[in-house]
Structure formats: C-alpha cells, structure tokens
Amino acid sequence: MDLILIAAIVLASASLGIPFFQLAKRRTMLPGYLLVAALLVALAIVALNTLSPQPASDFGGLLASDGLGGLFGIVTLSVSLVVGVVSLPLISERKNAPLYYSLLGFSALGMLFLSYSANLLMLFVAWELMSLPTYALAGFDKKREESNEAAAKYAILGALSSAILLYAISLAYGAAGTLQISGVVAAFGSSSLSSDPLALLSILLFIVGFGFKMSIVPFHMWVPDAYEGAPITVSTLFAAATKKAGFVAAIRVVLAATTLFAATQNSIFTVPNVLAVLALATMTLGNVAALTQKSMTRLLAYSSIAQAGYIMIGFVIFAYAGANPAFAAQGELGLTGSLFQIVNHAIMVSAAFVAASVVLVGLKRADLKAFDGLASRGPITAFTLTISMLALAGVPPLNGFWSKLLLFLSVVNGPYAWLAVAAVLNSAFSLAYYLWIVKRMYMDAPDSSEKLKEPTLLILVLAVLTALMVGLGLFPQLGIAFAHNALPPG
C-alpha cells in the first residue's frame, strides 16, 4: 500500500467520522483535535513520501507520486493544519463545529488528490471534492448576511468554473483520445493537433477554469466578497490553500501544453502571451484595488490577487521556453521562482489572516481603523503582521524578496522584459498599502487603550509562521532547492 493512499485513508476516515459528534448533546473540542491529529499524520506521511517518492501503484495511474505533488501536498495540508489549529479557540464552541471540521477535512482530502492527479477525470473529481465543502464553509456564519452572500456568489461562480473545466476535459479527450494528462500533453504537442480547434479551445477553457481558483483577472470577481463574508479561518484556507491547488492543476495541464494558438495564423496569440497579459492585468488590478480598501480582509483579498499575478510570471517564461529551447534555463528559473513564491505566499498570507483573526476576535471588527495603535495593545500580533506585510511587499531579507527576485530575473533578459519592469513597479506600488497598515499599528492612536487579548494558541501559530518568513529569508537556498526539486520533468 503506497503512502499517498495511507494519507488519504487517514483524512477520509477522520472526515467521515467527525460528523457523528454532532449527535452529542454536549459541545466538545474533540472533533477539532481529531482533525488536527489526522492532518498532522497525513502531512507527515506526505512529507515522508516527498523525501523518498514511491510509485502510486494502488491508484492505477490516476495519481503521480512526484516532487510537484509533494510540494503542493505539503503546502495545502500545512495550511489546512494551520486553519484547523486556529479554529480550535474560534470555532469549537459553535453548535455545528463537527460539520465545520468534517468539511475542512474533505476539502484537504480533495487538495491532496488534486496535488498528485495524473488523470483528467481524477483531477475533476478532486477539484469538486476540494470545492464543494468550501461553498458550505464560506456560508458557515449563516446568521450574517455577508456570509450568505459570499457563499451564494462563490457557489454560483464555482459551479460555472467546474462546468467550464468539465467541458475542457471533454474536448481534450475528444482531441487526444485519452484522459491521462501525459497522453493529452503528448497529443497536443504533435503536429496533427498543433492547430486543431478542439485542442486550442480546450487549452483556453482550462485557463478559464483554473483561473477561477487561482483568482487571476478577469476570473477574480468572487474573491473580495468571499474572503470578507466567510469566517476568517475559511478565508485563510481560500487564500493560502485552495488557491494553490488551482496552480498545481494549471502547471500539470496548461503549462505542459504550450501549443501555439495558430487558428488565426498570428504568432501573437500564443500561450505565453496570453499568460503574460493575464499576469500584468492581475498584479496591476490587485494592487490598485487593495489601496482603496477599508477592510483588512478585502485588502488581503486583493493583495492575494496581485500575488497571483507575480506567480504567473514564472508560468509565462516556462511556457515560452517550451517552444524556444534557448530560454530553457530562464524557464526553469521562472517556474522555480513561481513554486517558491507559492510556498512563501502560503506562509505570508496565513500569518496575515491569523493576525487579523486575533484582532477580529478581540475587537469584534476587522476594518482598518481597528488596527490603529495595535503595537501598544497587542504587540505580538502587530509584530507578526508587520513581518507579513513586509514579506508580501518583497522587502529583504524576508522570504518574499527571494522568490520575487527569481521571478524578475527569469524574464529580465528576453521578450518579456517589459513584464519584469511592470512587476517591479507593482511591487513598489504595493508598499503604499502594506506600509500604510504598519504605520497605523505603530504611529496612529487607538480608539481605546484596552489591551487586546492574544490567545496563546494563536500566538504559537504566529510565532511559527514568523520564524518561517524570517528563516526562509535568511536561508533562501533551502526554499529554492525545495522548489527546484519539485519541477516537473522535461
């Protein structure tokens, strides 16, 4: 029995068993502890499999036990673990807490399968297993109008995304005659399908379907409302985990098929050019919109959109290198930067959301004015949030600086140098709203001098995340090596 199957069984067993605690008359934190334990075990198993990959023979070719799946499996399970731990003091006393933890477990299971998917049908099943629980989690605060609105918008657009993705899979199967991702990629790269309308349309629809989860423009509309309306623990899951699962699907399918859009006989319409335009629009709109927000959750939502634009830079040069071998080294550097940025962003945005949750629970509000004078009321929370803001902005020597540097260097010499310039300008622009938050915490006077309660468990989580941001900044070679080892073969 392979290790991935064992991890899946652990998560599935916990997720199926936890709802029975709903029958108990007395509320208990046991469901939360059980899920946290299951996530810890699954994470340890996936980490062990990543160190010593074993073929996923028990799945009959549906899953690929490789470094790419290991990286995303570790990232998504780690974020799910953080969400589970942070939920213990925030969610466990609620009446429907067992259902909350069960949904979180099923979503983590879906992300695990999605990380390793080697078959398009398996990918779709994993996509739905990840997505469906999150629709319910987004509306978990059912007495709040914003939560209901967030769940409705997210579910409707999510269903549209799934339908588009399923249509793309059907077209790919019709064109290639197989559902194995490697077979589809090989077929799309052949001369017979290089200009096949079905193949071209399939690639476009894959970009649209995956773009919803990656929250790239113009498929980002659900993000601000969903992040603001959902419980803040669920917003953390959206920003740091399910978003990353969309990227692994795009890497396995879209980046592997760098076919020219030759339907118009115009070399402008290529996969790299389409991705470059999306990257530029995503980082620019995200940063500009973030500057105008008055809610921390909405600011972080638009910041996450901008970060997706930076990640896409590596996709651009990797896709371009697929058709231009002279840029193979830059393509490898770019995708390494993207994977490192994905790891870093999961850490940075998790820290920001956990810090925001401390303020939200303590002050019952999450508008930016609530952060005025936070340094004197909750010094640990303010310090972590400051480190997170600076890391997101790419300030050295924190971890966000190094992954951005790799991305910028990968495109600075070549046809996409303009994208490097745009990314540098966007990073400089983002300092405005990141430093605005820091200025509020350390220079503005608070409405009240009452100390902010900082729960011990949340402070421990913040300490770990802060250590990771600083540690990967001081020793970036560890993160770079981890990302480089996860590069897909070929």
List pLDDT tens digits, range 446-463. 877 778 888 889 999 999
Segment 320-348 mean pLDDT? 91
Per-residue pLDDT at 100 exceeds 90? yes
**pLDDT of 80 over the 50 cut:** yes
**Closest of 322, 310, 200, 326 to residue 272, by C-alpha:** 322
- The CA-to-CA distance between both ends of the chain, in Å, stands at 28
More confidently predicted of 143 and 57? 143
| 348: nearest Cα among 100, 141, 53, 79 | 79
Residue identified by tokens 């994208």 is: 419
Q: Is the pLDDT of residue 255 over 70?
A: yes
Find out whether 379 and 459 touch, Cβ atoms under 8 Å.
no
Is 349:384 a contact under the CB 8 Å cutoff? no
Averaged pLDDT of the chain:
87
Mean pLDDT of 297-309: 92
The answer to whether residues 70 and 49 touch, using CB atoms and an 8 Å cutoff, is yes
Cβ count within 10 A of residue 329? 11
pLDDT at 452: 81
Query: Does the pLDDT at position 410 exceed 90?
Result: yes
Binned at pLDDT 50, 70 and 90, residue 107 comes out as: very high
Res 110: pLDDT: 95
Q: How far is CA 127 from CA 16, 134, 448, in A?
A: 19, 11, 46
Radius of gyration of the chain (CA): 22
Segment among 56-65, 191-200, 468-477 with least mean pLDDT: 191-200
User: Which is nearest to 331 in space by CA: 392, 400, 271, 282?
Assistant: 271
The mean-pLDDT minimum among 289-293, 366-370, 426-430 falls in: 366-370
Q: How confident is the model at residue 259 (pLDDT cuts 50, 70, 90)?
A: very low
**Nearest-5° angle of CA 20, CA 25, CA 27?**
80
Place of tokens 């605005």: 436
Place 399 in a pLDDT band, splitting at 50, 70 and 90. very high
Reading the block at residue 405, the tokens are 């540097």
Q: Are 267 and 308 a contacting pair, CB within 8 Å?
A: no
Read off the pLDDT of each residue in 226-251 and give the average, rounded to a whole number. 88
**Mean pLDDT in residue range 49-56:** 76
Q: Give the residue ranges of DSSP H helices in 291-398.
A: 296-323, 328-363, 374-377, 379-393
Which of residues 323 and 357 earns the better pLDDT score?
357
Give 20-32 pLDDT, tens digit per residue.
988 877 777 899 9
Q: Mean pLDDT, to the nearest integer, of 211-219?
A: 86
pTM: 0.92
pLDDT bracket for residue 264 (50, 70, 90): very low
Q: Given a cut of 80, is residue 58 above it in pLDDT?
A: no
Across the range 180-187, mean pLDDT stands at 85
Residues 128 and 162: beta-carbon distance below 8 Å: yes
Judged against a pLDDT cut of 90, whether residue 475 lies above it is answered with yes
CA nearest 274: which of 288, 253, 259, 285?
259
Overall average pLDDT of the 172-181 stretch: 87
Q: What is the pLDDT of residue 402?
A: 95
How are the residues of the chain apportioned to helix, strand and coil, as percentages rounded to the nearest 5?
80, 0, 20
pLDDT (0 to 100) of residue 257: 63
pLDDT of res. 260 = 41
Separation between Cα atoms, residue 71 and residue 483, nearest integer Å:
7
Q: Is the pLDDT of residue 431 over 80?
A: yes
Confidence of residue 190 (pLDDT cuts 50, 70, 90): low
pLDDT band at 167 (very low <50, low <70, confident <90, very high): very high
Q: Pick the most confident of 138-147, 219-228, 303-312, 316-325.
A: 303-312
- pLDDT of 320: 86
Beta bridge partners of 180: 119
pLDDT in tens, 116-162: 998 999 999 999 999 999 999 988 887 888 888 888 888 898 899 99
> Lowest-pLDDT range, 112-121, 216-225, 292-301, 353-362?
216-225
**The pLDDT value given to residue 17:** 93
